[in-house]
Structure 1
Amino acid sequence: MAATDAHERLPVYKTRKLYIGGGFPRTESGRYITATDPTGEFVANICRASRKDFRDAVVEAREAQDGWSSRSAFNRGQILYRMGEMLESRRQAFVDTLVDTAGYAPDAAGAEVDAAIDRLVYYAGWTDKFSQVFGSINPVASSHFDFSVPEPSGVVAAFCPEAAPLLGLVSCLAPIIVPGNTVILVVENDAPTLALDLAEVLDTSDLPGGVVNILTGHREELREHVGGHRDVDAILSVGASTEERTILEREGAESVTRMEFRPGRSPAEWRADESQSPYWITPFVEFKTTWHPVGR
């Protein structure tokens, strides 16, 4: 008699971990959040990221930033395109997860996954173009050439939207990494397992470890630590409450951390063209000006 016939087989449930530095560690705190579907049924236990996890992610992001920004714009575009390819290859699995865990209708789930794939391809096309669009040659009164060119800010922390758990996440991370930044994404929504599934896509997309880091947890717990961390160069907060905005601005003031606040959007609004733009890249670059003499 086969072993599987002797007793009822127990399913092997997937362990959901954080994504830091190209690896999948458990949270150092040992805490977890129970994710459920719209009916209240158990989906998974996911890691509840701590302050220490965030610090570890910043270290990995800083270490990866120079290498990522020094890659050619064309190569960064290839990698974003590869992300889209890998997400396309797992399209049905993501559709099923949106239906089962977030309560989407099948058509709406398919539309969100398709939009996420298309958005990665969209930003892949901007990697070697935004510098020409937003850079400039400035008129000056002296015998010099004067160039302004965009350079990455560095390490960016992003509080991701609650709605559109896949597309909202992609819409945050893609414009941040296009110019050469690295990012720590803080995810709290109704389908947080999708973020960890996306981490597996990123991990097989030639993306260097540490460029994108994903922490699942409570943004209320982490926001003060994020705002006050001196090695974070910029912060994106989507759907911030008045209290959260006040905390981030207060904590980030001493280190002059750049802040970008965006309103929350519905899933349909995230799919709209207005939710993708090269102008979503510019909050995460610094414009550097170079002078070059002309003549003798």
Structure 2
Amino acid sequence: MAARVAGTAWRRTLPKSTKAMEPAPVRLSVRKTYKLYIGGKFPRSESGRTFVVDGDNVALASRKDARDAVVAARAAQPGWAGATAYNRGQVLYRVAEMLEARRDEFAALGVPADEVDAAIDRLVWYAGWSDKIAQVTGGANPVAGPFFNISAPEPTGVVAVVAPAGLLGLVSVIAPAVVTGNTTVVLAAGPQVAVTLAEVFATSDVPGGVVNILTGKYAETAPWLASHADVNALDLTGVEQRELAGELERAAAGTLKRVIRPSAGGTDFTADPGLRPMTTLLETKTVWHPKGY
């Protein structure tokens, strides 16, 4: 028994292994690179360029990226416009659900909690209008003669948006465009928030190409979208420089685009948006049909 105890004591006094004495390795977290969002995917810029924002690498969109985004938006537009208004409302409501689930990510990016709440509520509000806007803006017209005369709203098509900074501003310019059947190419001011919102769209049943988000310099990519022949409307809400807004509007005139001008005193996105953001991006189709006897 004494020998066994002595042996036990001897084993307890053995030195620790060298491996156990080594310090634990320090784990480096994976650094996120904020990419573009085109056609439902997250590519890097075709130019390979990036720029740094608050220590994060962000893709710097090029003219070719803008063209690719327009191609994706045009390809998605017929299917999105052909979906039922109820379905578009369901999809937009799903975006609100996913934004609610990822609110902590936006808080980590510095977005105030009340702004996240307002953005979620704004999405739900527009989702509710999806199957009602046609009833408000369309209808049967009185005519002299044996005809039915019916006016019905249709989406304008592909809308290029120079977006304002902030989550609520982004949602307030994207939602009215897509809920009415348009597709969008968005130039985003706050890249981290915009690309994180793109991740919400990508996981919310939004078909690829309905929303495309580019990050970079407005002055570099916006002129190509303004003059692009396959873009039907141009929203300049996020343009703060009056000179740049004028240049973009003149470029858009060459292809007869519909232009939404920025408000002189800025836009209060916390106010009731009303129907104008939706109706501005709708065309009215009027159909005549003879009455039977």
Equivalents in 2 of 1:209, 1:158: separation in Å?
17
Quick one: structure 1 residues 5 and 81, their matched pair in 2 at CA, closer, same or farther if it must change by over 3 Å?
farther
Task: Give the letter for the 2:117 counterpart.
Answer: D
Q: Deviations over 1:102-160 (max 9, x none)?
A: xxxxxxx0000000000000000000000000112111112111111100011000000
Note if contact 1:84-1:120 (Cα within 8 Å) is conserved in structure 2.
Answer: yes
TM-score by length of 1: 0.88
Mark the CA change 1:22 to 1:5 in structure 2 (over 3 Å): closer, same or farther.
farther
SS at match of 1:245: helix
* 1:288 match: 285
Relative to structure 1, the CA distance from residue 167 to residue 5 in structure 2 (aligned partners, 3 Å threshold; closer, same or farther) is: farther
Could you tell me which residue of structure 1 aligns to residue 217 of structure 2?
218
Instruction: Give the conservation status (yes or no) of the 8 Å contact 1:239–1:264.
Output: no
Are 1:245 and 2:255 an aligned pair?
Answer: no
Partner of 1:149 in structure 2? Answer: 152
Structure 1 pair 139–5 and aligned structure 2 pair: CA distance change class (3 A): farther
CA contact (8 A) 1:238 1:264 kept: no
Report the CA distance between 1:9 and its aligned residue: 1.7
2:208 — aligned with what?
A: 209
Residues 83-162 of structure 1: matches in 2 within 5 Å? 83-98=95-110, 109-162=112-165
Kept after mapping to 2: 8 A contact 1:65/1:155: yes
Q: CA deviation at 1:30?
A: 1.3
> Aligned equivalents of 1:236 and 1:270: distance in 2?
15
Mapped pair 1:187 → 2:188: yes
Q: Equivalent residue for 1:63?
A: 75
| TM-aligned CA deviation for residue 180 of structure 1 | 0.6
Matches of 1:114 and 1:187 in 2, distance apart?
20
Q: Counterpart of 1:103?
A: none
Q: Name the count of aligned residue pairs.
A: 273
SS at match of 2:45: coil
Per-residue CA shift, 1:29-70, capped at 9, x if unaligned?
A: 11112112xxxxx2x010011110000000000000001011
Residue aligning to 1:262: 262
Please give the alpha-carbon distance, in whole angstroms, between the structure 1 residues aligned to 2:176 and 2:102.
22
1:255-279 deviation line (CA, Å, top 9, x unaligned):
1111111327779x32222xx2222
Which one-letter code corresponds to 2:184 in the other structure? V
Runs of 5+ consecutive residues of structure 2 not aligned to the other structure: 1-18
Percent identity, please: 51
Q: Looking at CA atoms only, which structure, 1 or 2, has the larger radius of gyration?
A: 2
1:239/1:261 contact within 8 Å kept: no
Q: Distance in 1 between matches of 2:266 and 2:104?
A: 22
1:74 lines up with 2:73 in the alignment: no
Query: Contact (CA 8 Å) 1:60, 1:210: kept in 2 or not?
Result: yes
Q: Matches of 1:118 and 1:75 in 2, distance apart?
A: 19
Distance in 2 between residues matched to 1:256 and 1:62, nearest whole Å:
17
What secondary structure sits across from 1:98 in the alignment? Answer: coil
Report the alpha carbon displacement of residue 239 of structure 1 after superposing the two structures with TM: 4.1
Structure 1 vs Structure 2 CA RMSD: 1.7
Q: Match of 1:204, as an amino acid?
A: T
Contact 1:116 1:170 in 2 (8 A): yes
8 Å contact from structure 2 (residues 32, 57) kept in 1 = no
Does the CA-based 8 Å contact 1:80-1:120 persist in structure 2? yes
**Which residue is equivalent to 2:33?**
15
Secondary structure at the aligned position of 1:132 is classed as helix
Candidates 239, 262, 279, aligned match of 2:276: 279
Change (3 A) 1:265 1:11: farther
Asked if structure 1 preserves the Cα contact closer than 8 Å seen for 2:187 and 2:222, the reply is no
The verdict on how the C-alpha distance between 1:5 and 1:283 changes in structure 2, with shifts beyond 3 A counting, is farther
**C-alpha deviation, 1:250, in angstroms:** 1.7
1:45 pairs, out of 57, 82, 91, with 57
- Rounded Cα–Cα distance in structure 1 between residues aligned with 2:265 and 2:118: 15
8 A Cα contact 1:68 1:211, kept in partner: yes
